[in-house]
Amino acid sequence: MVKISPSLLAADFGNLRAAVQDLQAAGADWLHWDVMDGCFVPNLTFGAPLIKKLRPNSTLPFDVHLMIKNPASKLQWFADAGADIITVHAEACDDLPAVLAQIRKLGCKAGVSLKPATPPEILAQAADWVDLVLIMTVEPGFGGQAFMPAPLDKIGVLRRLFSGRKVEFEVDGGINPQTAKQAIASGADVLVAGTAVFQNGAYEANIRALRGEGK
């Protein structure tokens, strides 16, 4: 059964506690936190203090997506804030294996994300340190963008590259009930969705629809 990790970027920032509690009650598997620094991506969202504040309101895994420059210098902040998974962008790391090893040392699962245009082969040298790959199907920076199907092909390439290793594949960007089907068919284990979960506030129905479950 595919896991759903709703992105809080699409939530009402004035009522995040309620959003976190309601999403857990609605059957979300993880909670996806889109951290943006205004440098690696043009948008600026929130940092570790906000995530720390919300941590006591949910027992769900906090799936932290760092769209920031030089993530190695900030990992401790997010581990201390209660992250369960910390995902960095391969494009923002000079020594990716070292950063992933550091995430594991902090007691978190190590994730790496690829922008749509970044080839999957660059992860070959980090294979032993990867717990999760976050496949971007939009350019990182904003919610509500149109789905790009081409990056889904990276999952098959990486499953072969990582053969035998326990790696989860998460797809992020433009996921709705239609595009979710494509992502699942391509081998996704986890789907991130912001707009599609928060639209009309019907969290449970929207989450079930992404899993392909009936109304």
Q: Using CA atoms, how far apart are residues 184 and 107, in angstroms rounded to an integer?
A: 29
* Among 65, 74, 115, 154, contact with Zn ion (rule: CB under 5 A): 65
Stretch that binds ligand DX5, among 71-79, 96-104, 114-122, 171-179 (CB under 6 A): 171-179
Which of ligand DX5, Zn ion, none does residue 193 bind to, with CB < 5 to 8 Å depending on kind?
A: ligand DX5
Contact 192, 169 (CB under 8 A): no
Residue 112's SS3 state is strand
Binding mask 176-195 for ligand DX5 (x = CB under 6 A): ----------------xxxx
Minimum CB distance to Zn ion, residue 72 (Å):
19
Binding mask 168-187 for Zn ion (x = CB under 5 A): ----x---------------
12 tagged catalytic: no
Maximum CA extent, the chain: 46
Report the DSSP pairing between strands 62-67 and 3-6: unpaired
Enter the tokens of residue 165.
């290793």
Q: Environment class of residue 155 by beta-carbon count within 10 Å: exposed (0-12), middle (13-18) or buried (19+)?
A: buried
Q: Using CA atoms, how far apart are residues 148 and 135, in angstroms rounded to an integer?
A: 11
Which of ligand DX5, Zn ion, none does residue 195 bind to, with CB < 5 to 8 Å depending on kind?
A: ligand DX5
Question: What's the residue count for the chain?
Answer: 215
Which of Zn ion, ligand DX5, none does residue 92 bind to, with CB < 5 to 8 Å depending on kind?
A: none
Cβ proximity to ligand DX5, 56 vs 149, nearer residue: 149
153 tagged catalytic: no
Given the residues 34, 37, 63, 131, select the one marked as catalytic: 34
- What residues line the site for Zn ion (CB under 5 A)? 34, 65, 172
